[in-house]
A and B are shown apart, each in its own frame.
Chain A
Amino acid sequence: MFSVQRFVAMLVKEFVQMRRDRLTFAMMIGVPLMQLVLFGYAINMDPKGLPAAVVSADSSAFSRSLVRALENTGYFRIVATPASVAEADHLLQMGRVQFVLQIPEDFSRRLQRGEQAVALVDADATDPAATSNALAALNQVALTGLDHDLTGPLARPAGAAPPLELRVHRRYNPEAITEYNIVPGLMGVVLTMTMVLMTSVAMTRERERGTMENLLATPVRPLEVMAGKIVPYVIVGYVQVAVILLAARYLFAVPMVGSLWLLTSVLVIYILSLLAIGFTFSTLAKNQMQAMQMTMFFFLPSILLSGFMFPFRGMPGWAQVLGEAIPLTHFLRIVRGILLKGSGLGEIWPSLWPLGLIFLVVSALALKRYQRTLD
């Protein structure tokens, strides 16, 4: 017989326990709220205002019109006008700009002669999703971008070829294969999930099982405990990396342009910063359940705000600021840079030092927290 009285007793008890576990309660409210904000406000599948550089060998009204037409689409924001193509390439390689528009010397001459003018657009296509809409907007620019200038004697007869050709170069990922972008990124995501979770649980387990007290009663020092807890997972992390790299190579044929040695060596900083975060969680969480919840709370923005799933540049300013504090954001730039763009240490440095900084800050926090565990 189903007893309503017993059922209600069970129900009440569950609610009381739920309320007592403040963190779980906060998570139940916090996670949906965070998802709402992130999906609702931060994520934008149609990124606009993407940084672009213009290298113009022709300073004429036509080329100025072209630049203005690009900006008017809303997709492009001219942030640099380098003097040489090499300089522009460097900006592209570093990831400072997403596009480079090259206007050749004969640009206005050809237009005046009634010929088709050609301008070159180099796109950083490592993330096809981030560039596709912008590239689509180029078609319209080619067709009508110069309409205001080509009037009177310069007007083209209807049905003629468009006055302007914008030749698009999809750099780094010419076929716009999403896997090339996703698979290396996945390495970062998998590491974020497992490294943070494993360390946060490993330490909390000591406390939950009571073994922490014994450990603290021995002469062992906090740094020894932390290092001893973290290093095994560094090795686990590398095993995961090896698996993903092999899969990337042989299952997804992801190009590996850059140095794998460089990738392997900078990985250690990424893994360490994740482990330090996990360690910090473990000093905050009272039990393994809470540690897992904290990991989830960290994982969600990592995926959404890092540029893994959605283009980083599509996010509003505040979300980008938050994103910069996430290790995955920087790691994605590094791994995509090395594998797809063939970046060297110099090119990845702007993303490498923030990772190192995150590691140092979080480690200091973890050590400070750990020392107070019993007091």
Chain B
Amino acid sequence: MSAAPSRAPAERDAPAEYAVDVEDLTKRFGDRTVVDHVTLRIRPGTIFGFLGPNGSGKTTTIRMICGLLTPDGGRGRVLGFDVLRESARIKREVGYMTQRFSLYEDLSIEENLDFIARMYALPDRARRVPEAIASLGLAERRRQLAGELSGGWKQRLALAACLIHEPRLLLLDEPTAGVDPAARRDFWDHIHDLAHRGITVLVSTHYMDEAERCHELAYIASGKLLAQGTLREVIDQAALTTWELEGDDLMAVAGRLRGRPGVDMVAAFGNALHVSGTDRHALEASIHDVVRGSPVRAREVPPGLEDVFIHLMRGLDRPAHAA
């Protein structure tokens, strides 16, 4: 281990500085590299948003962190345990909520929670299960089959199930997919509450509003980590300039803008057009050229997370096209 982390030996016995500290995680399925040298550091008590398009390797990364998949490369520690060798220890301290509802639909709410509690060999099952049911507000429906619950309730049940053993790290894989906005809001309040109590949360999502509720973000595409930091940092790192264009016949304007110097991307946002690029001067010149003399109004706006992410994704595509 020549490239040992430059951490002082004394710190090793102290509470780990990071809840998740993994380096160069790599996973291949056949000759496809699904996760490519991903390095993540997450501080305890942080809500860490994990973003990226479908199939970018989010789920695979999460599965490697919780010990479900063995990485083909890389090293690191999760909650102080070696991610390669101590997956059994990690599993005991991690709550993993799968993307798809993965409790037993033909068991009741109570039976499901009791089963999970037994899987973790919890000694005070008789107390924790009713508590979890009560905190869900499902005391009188506890005998209902899990399969009969609506999407929002299933999600709550799944969260309760992965909290029952009081994990220190929560891994949530697109937990709010298919859940209505009110339930989503409740869910996020709950997550913040948990983080406040010191639980580290790694949550993958496609929703930008959810990304903005995270303390830190990471963006992954095609298995590679493209950006990491707070919301502000991620946006600033991209060094993106964005202009918002409003007016008539914006589609024609968009057509004229595409391919001009400095214009990296043009995207419709409701009734407006977002035009972004990294070369601030060239972009400004191009927009002025196109807009001049037309009734279209143009103004510079701070780039949003979505602008940044789309930009990051394009950036990843470009070298491939150039090659």
Contacts and interface: CB of A to CB of B under 8 A. Distances in A.
A202 to B, nearest CB: 12
B195 interface: no
A216 interface: yes
Contacts of A220: 119
Contacts of A211: 102-104
Contacts of B104: 209, 211
A216 B119 contact: no
A215 interface: yes
B120 A217 contact: no
Contacts of A215: 119
Interface string A185-213: 00000000000000000000000011111
B88 interface: yes
B132 to A, nearest CB: 15
Contact of A374 (B68, B96, B103, B119): B68
Contact of B102 (A213, A219, A374): A213
Interface string A219-249: 1100000000000000000000000000000
Given A211-B103, A211-B104, A213-B68, A219 B98 contact: no
Interface residues of A, number: 14
Contact of A213 (B94, B98, B105, B120): B98
A256 B161 CA distance: 52
A151 interface: no
A265 interface: no
Interface string B230-258: 00000000000000000000000000000
Contacts of B102: 209-214
Interface residues of B, number: 23
A375 B91 contact: no
B226 interface: no
A218 B91 contact: yes
B120 A219 contact: yes
Interface string B66-110: 111110000000000000000010011010101011111100000
B139 interface: no
Contacts of A214: 96, 98, 102-103, 116, 161
Contact of A217 (B68, B100, B105): B68
Interface in A330-375: 374-375
A211 B154 CA distance: 13
B98 A210 contact: yes
B69 A374 contact: yes
Interface in A284-316: none
B304 to A, nearest CB: 34
B267 interface: no
A215 B91 CA distance: 11
B119 A219 contact: yes
A325 to B, nearest CB: 32
A219 B119 CA distance: 7
Contacts of A219: 88, 91-92, 119-121
Contacts of A212: 102
A6 to B, nearest CB: 32
A217 to B, nearest CB: 4
Interface of A: 209-220, 374-375
19 contacts: A209-B104, A210-B100, A210-B101, A210-B102, A211-B102, A212-B102, A213-B98, A213-B100, A214-B96, A214-B98, A214-B103, A216-B68, A217-B66, A217-B67, A217-B98, A218-B91, A218-B116, A219-B120, A375-B69
Given A211-B103, A217-B98, A218-B116, 17 more contacts: A209-B102, A209-B104, A209-B105, A210-B98, A210-B101, A211-B102, A214-B98, A214-B103, A214-B116, A217-B67, A217-B94, A218-B91, A219-B120, A219-B121, A374-B63, A374-B69, A375-B70
